[in-house]
């Protein structure tokens, strides 16, 4: 094996009698390097996007959310033993919320949004805190008067300004309205002033308005009913483990979901896109590896005299084939090594300096493309590249070298 590796290494770096073989070998290494580099960078960008979006969702969504199994249907608060949930080891806070759609008017602007009724100390029991406020302040109640925190997208469509001089008019459908539909007997109406604007993620910012729990309960005529119960966990606690224990306590009539399950479709699409890109680039890498096949084929032809000399010195077919197999592997390994090093270097530069910016008008939380390097991805890329290199090297040795090996015996 040492002899085969030594000769293969000499063949890789030595000058061939036909100069085009050196060029093709260089192109082979370059092709594998570029393919490996692209895989590392694309996977790292997807990792960065995935982490950034998950972190944005996590600041607004609870660790665990309890809802009725009938989607969108409120349930009686006393149908769940909240004290029992609070006693579960790892639970930090349990918060009933009301979440319903409403029609908003601010001046001449109109918009449909989702009002989320939360406790006035919501910033203390959730991860949505003052850092999310882009203007105004985190205030839901002052002197027994309710205030609203408006999502940045909702504020944009309603043209809610910084002075907050006008109240936001809120309309909600009355429960069990009878008679001829009019504004008075069909809609509940209330007004509320905005105290601040929060920014989290575009889908959330353009949908939600946070209001005090009591304001939402009166507006939507919820009495003792709630839309969901949010559960926050202590840091480092497994959501899946706590979910199982809570699910046993609340019964089968309630759905208990972790953060991942609250946006399961979105997360699965993200993962599907990542691995779809991975396999597309892998296919491109397969095409690029045809250079290895061509390089080895021409090298075998170029070294047929060396093959005859080695055979006369006692080398068997296995040794000679191993030499050229190592040659193909060295090309793949060189390309994989340089590609991974270059990809990691470019990703580090982007992480450190954020050179590649996202063109936006301030609608994104991050201004540069987020990048995150996972060792598992580097290992997967390395195994893929070397695997493709093995197959690319095996074919010409199996079907071409046999012709020259038999001819020189």
Q: How far apart are CA 294 and CA 274, in angstroms?
A: 31
What is the separation of C-alpha 220 from the centre of its chain, rounded to a whole number of angstroms?
A: 36
| Same-domain pairing of 9 and 109 | no
pLDDT at 408: 47
C-alpha closest to that of 292 among 337, 334, 339, 332: 332
What percent of the chain has pLDDT above 70? 88
| Same-domain pairing of 68 and 182 | yes
Q: What is the mean pLDDT of the chain?
A: 84
Q: How far apart are CA 156 and CA 352, in angstroms?
A: 33
Q: How far apart are CA 81 and CA 34, in angstroms?
A: 59
Name, in order, each residue with C-beta under 8 angstroms of 63's C-beta and a sequence gap of 6 or more. 231, 232, 233, 237, 239, 242, 258, 259
| Same-domain pairing of 68 and 48 | no
pLDDT at 231: 95
Question: What is the 3 state secondary structure string of 328-360?
Answer: HHHHHHHHHHHHHHHHHHHHHHHHHHCCCECCC
User: Which tokens is 222 given?
Assistant: 């919820």
Who wins on pLDDT, 165 or 231?
231
| Same-domain pairing of 244 and 281 | no
| Same-domain pairing of 76 and 204 | yes
Q: How far apart are CA 340 and CA 393, in angstroms?
A: 21
Question: What is the 3 state secondary structure string of 272-337?
Answer: HHHHHHHHHHHHHHHHHCHHHHHHHHHHHHHCHHHHHHHHHCCCCHHHHHHHHHHHHHHHHHHHHH
* Residue indicated by tokens 């105290």: 195
Tally Cβ neighbours within 10 Å of residue 201.
21
Boundaries of domain holding 220: 64-258
| Final residue before a domain boundary, out of 236, 258, 280 | 258
Question: With 90 as the cut, is the pLDDT of residue 347 above it?
Answer: yes
Tally Cβ neighbours within 10 Å of residue 275.
12
| Same-domain pairing of 240 and 272 | no
pLDDT at 174: 84
Q: How far apart are CA 273 and CA 291, in angstroms?
A: 28
Question: Which pLDDT band holds residue 249 (cuts at 50, 70, 90)?
Answer: very high
Provide the number of structural domains found in the chain. 2
Q: Quick: pLDDT tens for 24-42.
A: 778 888 888 999 999 999 9
Name, in order, each residue with C-beta under 8 angstroms of 211's C-beta and a sequence gap of 6 or more. 115, 116, 117, 118, 140, 146, 148, 149, 192
| Same-domain pairing of 157 and 204 | yes
Is the distance from CB of 233 to CB of 90 less than 8 angstroms?
A: yes
* Number of Cα atoms under 13 Å in the Cβ half of residue 337: 7
| Final residue before a domain boundary, out of 258, 283, 314 | 258
Q: How far apart are CA 345 and CA 44, in angstroms?
A: 12
Question: Which pLDDT band holds residue 402 (cuts at 50, 70, 90)?
Answer: low
| Same-domain pairing of 119 and 223 | yes
Q: Quick: pLDDT tens for 97-153.
A: 999 999 999 988 999 999 999 999 998 888 887 778 888 889 999 988 999 999 999
| Same-domain pairing of 31 and 145 | no
Q: How far apart are CA 191 and CA 35, in angstroms?
A: 59
Question: Which pLDDT band holds residue 179 (cuts at 50, 70, 90)?
Answer: low
Name, in order, each residue with C-beta under 8 angstroms of 392's C-beta and a sequence gap of 6 or more. 289, 290, 292, 293, 296, 328, 332
Is the distance from CB of 336 to CB of 32 less than 8 angstroms?
A: yes
Tell me the CA distances in angstroms from 139 to 10, 144, 329, one per residue in order: 73, 12, 64
Is the distance from CB of 143 to CB of 194 less than 8 angstroms?
A: no
| Same-domain pairing of 343 and 387 | yes
Rg of the chain over all Cα atoms, to the nearest angstrom: 32
65 bridge partner residues: 230, 257
Is the distance from CB of 40 to CB of 285 less than 8 angstroms?
A: no
| Same-domain pairing of 179 and 150 | yes
pTM: 0.71
| Same-domain pairing of 100 and 237 | yes
Question: With 70 as the cut, is the pLDDT of residue 21 above it?
Answer: no
- What is residue 66's three-state secondary structure? strand
| Final residue before a domain boundary, out of 209, 234, 258 | 258
């Amino acid at each position: 094996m040492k002899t085969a590796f030594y000769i293969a290494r000499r063949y890789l770096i030595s000058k061939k009698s036909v100069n085009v073989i050196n060029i093709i070998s260089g192109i082979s290494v370059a092709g594998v390097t570029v393919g490996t580099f692209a895989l590392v960078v694309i996977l790292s960008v997807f990792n960065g996007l995935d982490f950034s979006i998950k972190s944005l969702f996590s600041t607004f969504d609870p660790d665990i959310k309890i809802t009725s199994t009938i989607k969108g249907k409120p349930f009686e608060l006393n149908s769940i033993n909240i004290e029992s949930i609070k006693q579960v080891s790892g639970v930090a806070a349990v918060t009933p919320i009301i979440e319903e759609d409403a029609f908003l008017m601010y001046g001449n602007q109109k918009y449909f949004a989702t009002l989320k009724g939360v406790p006035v100390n919501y910033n203390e029991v959730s991860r949505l805190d003052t850092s999310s406020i882009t203007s105004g302040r985190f205030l839901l109640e002052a002197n027994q008067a309710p205030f609203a925190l408006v999502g940045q997208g909702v504020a944009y469509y309603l043209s809610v300004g910084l002075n907050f001089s006008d109240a936001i008019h809120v309309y909600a459908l009355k429960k069990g309205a009878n008679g001829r539909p009019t504004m008075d007997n069909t809609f509940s109406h209330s007004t509320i002033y905005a105290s601040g604007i929060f920014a989290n993620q575009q889908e959330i910012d353009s949908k939600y308005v946070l209001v005090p729990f009591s304001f939402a309960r009166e507006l939507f005529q919820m009495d003792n009913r709630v839309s969901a119960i949010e559960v926050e966990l202590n840091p480092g606690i497994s959501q899946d483990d706590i979910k199982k224990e809570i699910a046993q306590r609340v019964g089968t009539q309630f759905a208990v979901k972790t953060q991942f399950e609250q946006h399961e479709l979105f997360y699965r699409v993200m993962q599907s896109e990542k691995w779809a890109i991975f396999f597309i680039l892998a296919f491109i890498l397969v095409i690029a590896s045809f250079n290895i096949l061509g390089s080895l084929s021409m090298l075998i032809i170029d070294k047929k005299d060396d093959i005859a000399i080695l055979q006369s010195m006692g080398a068997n077919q296995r040794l000679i084939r191993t030499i050229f197999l190592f040659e193909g592997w060295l090309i793949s390994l060189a390309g994989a090594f340089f590609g991974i090093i270059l990809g990691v270097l470019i990703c580090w530069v982007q992480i450190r300096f954020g050179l590649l910016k996202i063109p936006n008008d301030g609608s994104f939380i991050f201004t540069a493309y987020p990048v995150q390097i996972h060792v598992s991805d580097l290992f997967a890329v390395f195994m893929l590249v070397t695997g493709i290199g093995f197959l690319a090297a095996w074919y010409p040795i199996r079907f071409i070298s046999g012709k020259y090996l038999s001819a020189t015996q």
